[in-house]
Structure 1
Amino acid sequence: MYSFERRDSCPSCASELQDVLARTKFKSDQLWPVVALQCNAPEGSLGEQDYEAVQCPVCSTIYQSWVGNEELLADLYGEWISDELTDREKVRFAWLTDNPKLSRDAHDLMTAAAILKTPLSELKTLDYGMGLGLWAEISGKLGCASYGFDYSKSRTELAAMKGIRTTTLAEIDGANFDFINLEQVMEHVTDTDTTMTLIQSGLRPGGLLRISVPGQNALRSALKKLGSGTSPSASEIDPLSPLQHVNAFTSKGLRELGRRFGVIPISQFYAQRFAFLLKGGISVRYPIDGAKELLRPLLPLENRRNLTVWFRKPFRARKNPRSRCNTLSPHEERTL
């Protein structure tokens, strides 16, 4: 039987105010089908534990108040969730690594290089929570000094087999990375304060941080169904997926999380978002993908389905960077 730990404050803004949106047992008829669909958790392994979704009234972040302990998380990500790619995904991954400049990840790296006014070959990058290592591999193929980190031992070993330089938590602190990427990571993190402290310490002054997470989308209606005794679909509740997605951020919450740890939300000029055009970054083989990449810089980075926020670490450290009183003016949030 696994144990759970209660979170009494918002993972974004640290407010201790909570509004309960839904509460039911993980093993309930309404929720267990979703758990079983998304991971191979043994039936009965979660006992009488509640799934409780609460909302922060300050920043509107929705989060699971009860999260699994280290033993549960190790089994969840090490055994219950499969890393196997479909045949189609394998073909796609192989093509992207053979043509790295055409990938979406490469285009984000080119944007980072444009913002920093630094050649890709001089960038030191980290993919934190690298999963199967595609971003880190593409970064290396573009000439960056690319590193990857993942809590999963099997994923770390896979990355090493691909030639990706892996790093440890201890090595991230003070590593002076130019660009750190957290792609679909923070929604899984049970202790956002510890993670953000580490990430901030790993960035060089002036360095960039990109955080991308799922948007809340239809989550509120899914939780209403759950609260009324009806089963939501797995896709509806996915932004706060049982066990896995413990945080469902808002733009306000994600930006406040960055501010509390001394990194400033920034915007981008179109010239920076279209930097890939100067480097032959459009696919002819996949014209639909190429068209999407031409359109993507014109679209907002934040929508119902996905939130992406870019941050920059100031060149001069602010006093007490974790203080919520250190709010920034609109002028300070412009591109540095």
Structure 2
Amino acid sequence: MQLLTPDGDRVESVTTEDGVTYTVNFTDEEYRELYRDLVTVRRLDAEGLALQRQGELGLWASLLGQEAAQVGSGRALRPQDMAFPTYREHGVLYCRGIDPIMPFGLFRGVDQGGWDSNAHKFNLYTLVIGSQTLHATGYAMGVTMDGKTGSPDGEAVIAYFGDGATSQGEVNESFVWSGVFNAPIVFFCQNNQWAISQPLERQSRAPLYHRAGGYGFPGVRVDGNDVLASYAVTRHALDEARQGHGPTMIEAYTYRMGAHTSSDDPTRYRASGEVESWKAKDPISRMRAFLLKQRIAGEDFFGQVEEDVRKIALDLRERVLAMPDPQPVEMFGHVYPTGSPQLDAQRDEFLAYQASFHPEP
């Protein structure tokens, strides 16, 4: 599914064999805001990588190249919907209105990456590959049990994962349970072509979205570098889920332009020519071309966006560097909401152990 070509030409609508028509009807200002989102998310991601390279973060998982899939799907969510991310959904986090500094505490090691999931309808980052799909499935089943589906104002759930995660048992189990129990969930697979150092052909002999049929629900592939198509397909799937029509799997066909994480060296396993070919499909470049062709925005607008985003990134950097180093005992502080005798005993033992060391002169 594609509504915006790599050259920035608009496809008004696409109708599937099942009679589903995908399109968007944004105002000029909404188109401009989508562009602003894409640029902001990329700039904040670049700041994260720079901070890691400068020794300020222990790790960073970049989303470079996947901005359209994340912004498009993130903006398609309604306020009542719940999202379950991996550790790379910085763009979705931004679209949910969460302060972008939040994941930096996790990657800097000053906190446990905690934010109020219920307040933002965005679960905590999950580093265990694929496990968030089971969390999302259980949550979605609970939504049904609470009677919060069956209307346009119902609730839906979205679970993000990568192409490599489709080889995990948890993901397949979540497909089984969601299909059997007709859970109101959208499985959003960002197929960025590389599961760390393993290419897609080592993950599946068939297109990933075809798997959905085996579990009894529809699957669709969308151009993951097209923010308009990513929005349209995700919004339709979420609306289907909230009205009680069950799960959908979306395969966002995109590309990871950078490394898997800051600890990875992609030059060891993929050709530079492959990267260059995907640069021609860059999600920001095509959105910019569209805005120019449609005369929705000009150079003054693009320049102002760059300046605004530069200030946001600078503010983020300053706040990250100002994060206080935690005391070791703080790791016991947020395990149970009302405490635990066992945890109290462990904390006391730790404090006694810590006090046994003589301070350095």
* Fold similarity call, TM over 0.5: no
Between Structure 1 and Structure 2, the one with more helix by share is 2
Greater relative CO (CA pairs within 8 A, separation 6+)? 2
Between Structure 1 and Structure 2, the one with more strand by share is 1
**Rg larger in structure:** 2
